[in-house]
Structure 1
Amino acid sequence: MLFDTDVSIKGIYATYCKALCKTPTDKAGPNEGGQFKIFKRYIDAYMIAPLLGCLYGQRVDEISDPGSDSAGIMAAAIIGEQSKLMYIYRVIMLTDKLSGLSEEERINRAFRDDTDEEAIKKNMKVYEGYFYGGLKLLYDTFVEGCTTDDDYVAKINDYVVAFKKDQEIDEIDTDIDTLISQ
């Protein structure tokens, strides 16, 4: 089954994850020592980073810096978010364009490969690649160059404005209610 074991994050990506997530040593809250944290838990980063990585085409297929830093997500946290993780996994398998698969192959990968252990391993490498790519994207956006409260607020604002523009959120011509009622 997917998403039922511990997750180990190593090297520079563990460093990125720790910089983006509240850790047990962050006792004073999200702004411990002037460093803001985007996520309360590692599992939150494990769910959001792959979506952003996939959305922006940021995938790390091979980790070049094994490094010595490490972070982990316990199986209990993974299992507690398993239904959300499965949904995110399927979205990524369906929308991944970097693998060069046809639409039918992506559909099979998202919904029919759940019992094939080799396919699951291959698909999880894609998921993890987007996770690492998304972590790097988030780290570069919210940690690099943020030293003051004003820097952080400006980065958040810039990111939201850019995301809104990139996704053309205000440009949607179709009325959502019309889509739902069809």
Structure 2
Amino acid sequence: MAVKKEPPHVFEYFKTSEVFINGRFKEYVDKMWVQNKVQESMVKRLVDLYAIAAVIGLRAKRRLPDDRVGDDKRTIQMKQLTDTYQTLAPIMKLVLMLDESRGLNEEERIRSAFRIPETKEEHDAGMELFNSYARGGIEYIYEMLVVRPGSPDDEYGDQRINNILALLKDPMECPEIG
């Protein structure tokens, strides 16, 4: 009798589980995105804010730990993650290549960016790295678009427009990234 071999488990980023935004980051997200209310939101979908935030967190070199307080959270569903995979995957590659916190040399970072994780632990560590930058970016965007006070240099009467322009003008000085 032949023994049926189980196929190896694949730990591909953004294809194994939903993403949860917890604690103060959930509160920040709620100020910038309202489900099914595009007119009241700064982005159309939560997954879009998540992707943008990861890039901004990486660029600003801002990583933050999770803030799991209670059960209150926002969830990015698997369907949204898989539908946005073509956007998220290159951002993950950038995170894995540019982040130096893992103690890997340049060649090891590049190699890790262009292969699928071999273990659940490696996958989870990569996702946590990405999510830590996303949380840093969420906080940064919140500070710039929601909390930022007006300034005498502001050009428009609408503070939201002034905040968006200030964010676009902010160089996020990071000479290592350019």
Same fold (TM > 0.5): yes
Choose which of 4, 9, 13 in structure 2 pairs with 1:2.
Answer: 13
Pairing of 1:33-182 with structure 2 (within 5 A): 37-60=41-64, 62-64=65-67, 66-145=69-148, 150-163=158-171, 166=173
Gaps of 5+ in 1: 173-182
Q: Aligned letter for 2:18?
A: D
Tell me how far 1:93 sits from its aligned partner: 0.6
What is the root-mean-square deviation of aligned Cα atoms in Å?
2.6
SS in 1 for 2:34: coil
Equivalent in the alignment of 2:35: 23
Q: Aligned letter for 1:3?
A: F
Tell me how far 1:123 sits from its aligned partner: 1.0
Gaps of 5+ in 2: 1-11, 151-155
Tell me how far 1:167 sits from its aligned partner: 7.7
Q: How many Å separate the matches in 2 of 1:46 and 1:162?
A: 20
Query: Is 1:12–1:67's contact at 8 Å kept on the other side of the alignment?
Result: no
Q: What TM-score results when the alignment is normalised by the length of structure 2?
A: 0.77
SS in 1 for 2:95: helix
Query: Is 2:144–2:166's contact at 8 Å kept on the other side of the alignment?
Result: no
Tell me how far 1:125 sits from its aligned partner: 0.9
Q: How many Å separate the matches in 2 of 1:2 and 1:101?
A: 19
Tell me how far 1:102 sits from its aligned partner: 1.4
Tell me how far 1:42 sits from its aligned partner: 0.6
Q: What TM-score results when the alignment is normalised by the length of structure 1?
A: 0.76
Q: Aligned letter for 1:76?
A: K
Count of equivalent residues:
159
